[in-house]
Amino acid sequence: MGTPAAQDAGPRRVPRPRADALRNRERIVTAAREMFVEFGPFAPLDDVARRAGVGNATLYRHFPDRDALVHGVVLAVMSSVNDQAERAAAEEADTFDALVRFAHAAAGERIGALCPMLSSGFDGHHPELVAERARLEVSVQGLVTRAQEAGRLRTDVAVGDLMVALSQLTRPLPGVGCLDIDQFVHRHLAIFLDGLQAPARSALPGKAATLEDLRSDP
Amino acid sequence: MGTPAAQDAGPRRVPRPRADALRNRERIVTAAREMFVEFGPFAPLDDVARRAGVGNATLYRHFPDRDALVHGVVLAVMSSVNDQAERAAAEEADTFDALVRFAHAAAGERIGALCPMLSSGFDGHHPELVAERARLEVSVQGLVTRAQEAGRLRTDVAVGDLMVALSQLTRPLPGVGCLDIDQFVHRHLAIFLDGLQAPARSALPGKAATLEDLRSDP
Amino acid sequence: MGTPAAQDAGPRRVPRPRADALRNRERIVTAAREMFVEFGPFAPLDDVARRAGVGNATLYRHFPDRDALVHGVVLAVMSSVNDQAERAAAEEADTFDALVRFAHAAAGERIGALCPMLSSGFDGHHPELVAERARLEVSVQGLVTRAQEAGRLRTDVAVGDLMVALSQLTRPLPGVGCLDIDQFVHRHLAIFLDGLQAPARSALPGKAATLEDLRSDP
Amino acid sequence: MGTPAAQDAGPRRVPRPRADALRNRERIVTAAREMFVEFGPFAPLDDVARRAGVGNATLYRHFPDRDALVHGVVLAVMSSVNDQAERAAAEEADTFDALVRFAHAAAGERIGALCPMLSSGFDGHHPELVAERARLEVSVQGLVTRAQEAGRLRTDVAVGDLMVALSQLTRPLPGVGCLDIDQFVHRHLAIFLDGLQAPARSALPGKAATLEDLRSDP
DNA sequence: TATGAATGAGATTTCATTCAT
DNA sequence: CATGAATGAAATCTCATTCAT
């Protein structure tokens, strides 16, 4: 006490998570992400724990139930996707090329695996999720807006359309890899992106999907 | 034996299914199709039976296990889809319009629900399935070929590309209807179809998917 | 159809539970009652099922969760106790003797084992429970009232006092039979019953407990 | 070694427990006593530790397993009860009044919570327990003997009867406070004490319980 | 020493499938 | 043939206890 280190914080309140605990949490999220991509969001949690190399109860310490784990994985994927969006915006000269690069990068991040996770009990109002969505607003929405202003992207679509179709087209098929969908993903994405270029050949039914529409319970 | 009734078949060989048994089978397939669309291919079979209004053991009499039931549903969906393809080919003058009409009709038939079913243990060599695929060969393949020959469809895609993307884009989200995907399906399909029109704006990665590629275990 | 048996009931609605199912249900309740007496209301349900000689899932078919099972056991015990009360009232000449006989009989029925069960999630408003309590109202309340009117029972106690003290004094000690409480139960009950005889030697603190006070959530 | 400090003990033999360790032990026993009264003797030990405001491992340092903790709590309760007995004997003129006062005081000390604890693996021969029982012998046994010699207490009961009935009548109902038993405890105790006064109205079945009978494994 | 984290064993509950009426 | 009931295997989750910081 009285040391400089003790000044800016109360005495050992929230005593900084231990290094090994952080590493375990990381490993669990990684394992869960892989398992969910491969077997869907109902992969046995014991298997997730085994793949992460921890006991099952350790998993439950970090994530009290499946929904919490799904939440963690969704956050991780969204974060990666946002990273990709920011990188694409920064490094790509042409506005549509940036979109294309982002889309294929997001496919690589297995963004399609998010879809089935959203079906689980899911709190769309969780602060962390709201924050990550705000980041998405800035990055991907930016990509879309700039491409539209440059006349490179048809104006009857919105960012939600891009995200949903991107996710659907890249959704994995849970279970064993009979009919490996991955080999087709980038083809179909390319076709869809072609369809996104202005001018529109056909009038689109329905209304453009905004980010708000992607909220679980609006 | 020897009686007129026994002429075309041995005694009590295939004793012609009773009318109520046939109706039960039909109701089970219908119920299973709805449940699989709503909850995915792992919906509890007892629930399927309850929705069909029969006892669970009756379900098991008609379909010895889940795979058999999935098989039945897949056949039913493929059959409906083939019907739609034949109708579109017969009634639509423009070759690409026929494709468009077929695609939206197939989306209405919930073809996307097939995807997760293909993950189950699935015998791609089953005679009925082979037969239905042959019908697909004639109908949808015909739509594609004609549109390509008429210069209305880019030539670097194949029928497998259409079927897979069509299925993926229309896949339902299992669970409660948070984020109702259905409202977007036809939009995204329209965009994808725009992308399918010739000439191609971008070179497609990978190779075109044929019907053969859609076999579960190639 | 058209038979007399089919007249008074719609066609096979609520098709009368099967004999073996009824027997199983009975066996489960009996086993649970024994286990709860011996190990308390948190005895493993698998053990209950094993003692009943059925599979665990059979237990869950009859009683969806522990509370339902506890409910069933409580009903069974209350029913037995009510039987004892009616018999004592019918066969015993002296009004206080009837109370005494009932109390010891109820102790033999292990009424004390009810106490810890009431701690579980427990629906005091369940119709069956309400009915059984009404029966208690008639029988035990009758015993108490008559004894009081005959001047054989102090008038500053009520039926709730009797039931609670009777239950408490005869509560089993869960776990192995170290310190076998059973050998003392009837002694202490006799002393308490002595204290119940008029005239009161001491003023009682608090207010008399009615049957209403024994409702879980009043 | 050889230093003055090491004279009365070998080097670092029983190095006198630190003040904070003692305080922790105290807090753990208090918390455990409260939790056991409220939730029974199987309250999660992590919860006990949390209520005590210490880490779970600290609890395990002081009490290697649940039985050790139960042992500690039982000792604490017995000690309090003995205190009450000595005070009642010293301050109350009438011998039966002393018993009455002691009984109600013991009820206030939650002596009833001891009952379920005796079900746990319990070493009745532990020296500390033997010592505390000896103290009980002197204090409560003294109260009983004196009242009997004064003709104020029926002679067919023994101190074990008093202790067991007293404990049973004041046992708490674990779980949430539906049916709050506490409001009735002192009523029933008063009735029981009335029944304890001489002369006996009824012959008691069984044999009087001595302190020896309360040993866990006789 | 005190602590948060980790762990495996066990309890509850669900469900695909078989049995008996 | 149709049905309700029964079953075991597996999944989720809890908790007493040990480990490492």
CATH number at residue C59: 1.10.10.60
Given the structure tokens 């009365």, which residue do they identify?
A: D8
CA-based R_g, chain B, Å: 20
Cβ atoms within 10 Å, residue A71: 20
Q: Which residues, numbered 145 to 164 in chain A, qualify as contacts with chain B under a Cβ-Cβ cut-off of 8 Å?
A: 157, 160-161, 164
Residue range(s) defining the domain that contains residue C41: 18-64
Does residue B7 lie in a domain region? Answer: no
Give the distance between the most distant pair of CA atoms in chain B. Answer: 71
Report the residue from B122, B168, B178 with minimal CB separation from A216.
Answer: B178
Lowest mean pLDDT among B198-202, C179-183, D116-120: C179-183
CA-based R_g, chain D, Å: 20
Does residue C9 lie in a domain region? Answer: no
Quick one: pLDDT at residue D197? 87
**Nearest to residue C107, comparing CAs of C212, C181, C36?**
C181
D contacts of C186 (beta carbons < 8 Å): 205-206
Quick one: pLDDT at residue A2? 37
Q: What percent of chain C has pLDDT over 90?
A: 56
Does residue B33 lie in a domain region? Answer: yes
Tell me: do B166 and B130 sit in the same domain. Answer: yes
B contacts of A164 (beta carbons < 8 Å): 181, 184, 188
Does residue C33 lie in a domain region? Answer: yes
The rounded distance, in Å, linking the Cα atoms of A215 and B42 is: 26
Quick one: pLDDT at residue A147? 96
End-to-end Cα spacing for chain A: 50
**Nearest to residue A38, comparing CAs of A178, A177, A184, A164?**
A177
Quick one: pLDDT at residue B187? 92
Cα–Cα distance list, A153 to A191, A200, D52, D89, D139 (Å): 14, 9, 63, 95, 93
Does residue B6 lie in a domain region? Answer: no
Q: What is the mean pLDDT of chain C?
A: 84
Tell me: do A51 and A120 sit in the same domain. Answer: no
B78 and B124 Cβ atoms separated by less than 8 Å:
no
pLDDT digits (tens, 9 = 90+) for B18-55: 677 788 899 999 999 999 888 888 889 999 999 999 99
End-to-end Cα spacing for chain D: 47
The rounded distance, in Å, linking the Cα atoms of D92 and D97 is: 7
D5 has pLDDT over 60? no
- Please count the residues of chain B: 218
**Nearest to residue A192, comparing CAs of A160, A166, A163?**
A166
Lowest mean pLDDT among A154-158, C171-175, D40-44: C171-175
Q: Which residues, numbered 66 to 105 in chain D, qualify as contacts with chain C under a Cβ-Cβ cut-off of 8 Å?
A: 100
CATH number at residue A30: 1.10.10
CATH number at residue C116: 1.10.357.10
Quick one: pLDDT at residue C2? 38
C contacts of D178 (beta carbons < 8 Å): 118-119, 122, 124, 216-217
Report the residue from A175, A197, A217 with minimal CB separation from B120.
Answer: A175
Quick one: pLDDT at residue B152? 93
Report CA torsion sign: A179, A181, A183, A184.
positive
The rounded distance, in Å, linking the Cα atoms of C100 and C96 is: 6
Q: Which stretches does DSSP call E strand in chain A? A: none
Does residue B48 lie in a domain region? Answer: yes
Lowest mean pLDDT among A57-71, A138-152, C120-134, D27-41: C120-134
Quick one: pLDDT at residue D9? 43
B85 and B183 Cβ atoms separated by less than 8 Å:
no
CA of B165 to C1' of F11 (A): 34
Report CA torsion sign: D76, D80, D86, D90.
positive
Q: How far is CA B148 from the centre of its chain?
A: 23
Q: Which residues, numbered 103 to 122 in chain C, qualify as contacts with chain D under a Cβ-Cβ cut-off of 8 Å?
A: 115-116, 118-120, 122
D200 has pLDDT over 90? no
CA of B55 to C1' of F2 (A): 7
Tell me: do C111 and C36 sit in the same domain. Answer: no
Report the residue from A118, A168, A183 with minimal CB separation from B169.
Answer: A168
Question: Contact B165/A176, CB-based, under 8 Å?
Answer: no
C10 has pLDDT over 50? no
Which protein residue's Cα is closest to nucleotide E12 at C1'?
Answer: C45
C contacts of D184 (beta carbons < 8 Å): 160-161, 164-165, 206, 209
The rounded distance, in Å, linking the Cα atoms of D97 and D105 is: 12
pLDDT digits (tens, 9 = 90+) for C72-102: 999 999 999 999 999 999 999 999 999 999 9
Does residue D8 lie in a domain region? Answer: no
The rounded distance, in Å, linking the Cα atoms of A167 and B27 is: 33
pLDDT digits (tens, 9 = 90+) for C34-75: 999 888 888 899 999 999 999 899 999 999 899 899 999 999
Tell me: do B128 and B189 sit in the same domain. Answer: yes
Given the structure tokens 């375990």, which residue do they identify?
A: A24
Assign C176 a pLDDT band (cuts: 50, 70, 90).
Answer: low
Which protein residue's Cα is closest to nucleotide F20 at C1'?
Answer: A20
Select from D26, D41, D64 the last residue of a domain: D64
Tell me: do B42 and B148 sit in the same domain. Answer: no
Tell me: do D181 and D134 sit in the same domain. Answer: yes
Determine the residue type at D65: D
Q: Which residues, numbered 1 to 30 in chain B, qualify as contacts with chain A under a Cβ-Cβ cut-off of 8 Å?
A: none
Does a cis peptide bond (omega within 30 degrees of 0) precede residue B4?
no
Which protein residue's Cα is closest to nucleotide F11 at C1'?
Answer: A44
Q: How far is CA C114 from the centre of its chain?
A: 6
Select from D6, D29, D64 the last residue of a domain: D64
**Nearest to residue B172, comparing CAs of B118, B101, B115, B127?**
B115
User: What would the mean pLDDT of D70-77 be, rounded to a whole number?
Assistant: 92
Select from C64, C91, C122 the last residue of a domain: C64
B66 and B60 Cβ atoms separated by less than 8 Å:
no
Neighbours of chain B (3+ CB pairs under 8 A): A
Which protein residue's Cα is closest to nucleotide E11 at C1'?
Answer: C44
Tell me: do A80 and A56 sit in the same domain. Answer: no
> Distance, in angstroms, between B197 CA and closest chain A CA?
8
C35 and chain D in contact, CB less than 8 A: no
Lowest mean pLDDT among C137-151, C161-175, D11-25, D136-150: D11-25
Tell me: do C34 and C123 sit in the same domain. Answer: no
A1 has pLDDT over 60? no
Cα–Cα distance list, B159 to A192, B154, D82 (Å): 16, 12, 90
Quick one: pLDDT at residue D169? 93
Residues 6+ apart with CB under 8 A from A181: A171, A172, A173, B164, B168
Q: What is the mean pLDDT of chain A?
A: 85
Lowest mean pLDDT among B37-46, C2-11, C43-52, D144-153: C2-11
Q: Which SS3 state, helix, strand or coil, does residue C154 take?
A: coil
> Distance, in angstroms, between D171 CA and closest chain C CA?
7
Tell me: do A103 and A158 sit in the same domain. Answer: yes
CA of C54 to C1' of F6 (A): 8
D188 and C187 Cβ atoms separated by less than 8 Å:
no
DSSP-derived secondary structure letter, C181 = T
**Nearest to residue D143, comparing CAs of D166, D162, D167, D128?**
D162
The rounded distance, in Å, linking the Cα atoms of C138 and C29 is: 25
The two tokens of residue A3 are 């040391």
Number of folded domains in chain B?
Answer: 2
Tell me: do C45 and C145 sit in the same domain. Answer: no
C4 has pLDDT over 80? no
Does residue C10 lie in a domain region? Answer: no
- Contact between the CB of B47 and strand F at under 7 Å: no
> Distance, in angstroms, between C11 CA and closest chain D CA?
44
Report CA torsion sign: A204, A210, A211, A214.
negative
> Distance, in angstroms, between A132 CA and closest chain B CA?
18
- Contact between the CB of B22 and strand F at under 7 Å: no
Question: Contact D118/C178, CB-based, under 8 Å?
Answer: yes
B211 and chain A in contact, CB less than 8 A: no
Tell me: do B99 and B191 sit in the same domain. Answer: yes
Quick one: pLDDT at residue D180? 66
Question: Contact A202/B184, CB-based, under 8 Å?
Answer: no
More confident: B163 or A203: B163
Residues 6+ apart with CB under 8 A from A112: A166, A167, A168, A169, A170, A171, A172, A185
Burial profile C45-61: b = 16 or more Cβ within 10 angstroms, e = fewer: beebbebbebeeebbee
Q: At what angle do helices B45-52 and B19-39 cross, to 10 degrees?
A: 130
Quick one: pLDDT at residue B123? 73
Which phi and psi (to 5°) does residue D111 adopt? -60, -25
Q: What is the mean pLDDT of chain D?
A: 84
C193 and chain D in contact, CB less than 8 A: yes
Lowest mean pLDDT among B16-30, C36-50, D84-98, D176-190: D176-190
C103 has pLDDT over 80? yes
**pTM summary value:** 0.83
Tell me: do D57 and D84 sit in the same domain. Answer: no
Candidates A118, A167, A191, partner chain B, best to mutate (most B CBs within 10 A): A191
C207 has pLDDT over 60? yes
The rounded distance, in Å, linking the Cα atoms of B104 and B107 is: 5
Q: What is the 3-state secondary structure of chain B?
A: CCCHHHCCCCCCCCCCCCHHHHHHHHHHHHHHHHHHHHHCCCCCHHHHHHHHCCCHHHHHHHCCCHHHHHHHHHHHHHHHHHHHHHHHHHHCCCHHHHHHHHHHHHHHCCHHHHHHHCCCCCCCCCHHHHHHHHHHHHHHHHHHHHHHHCCCCCCCCCHHHHHHHHHHHCCCCCCCCCCCCHHHHHHHHHHHHHHHCCCCCCCCCCCCCCCHHHCCCC
Quick one: pLDDT at residue A82? 95
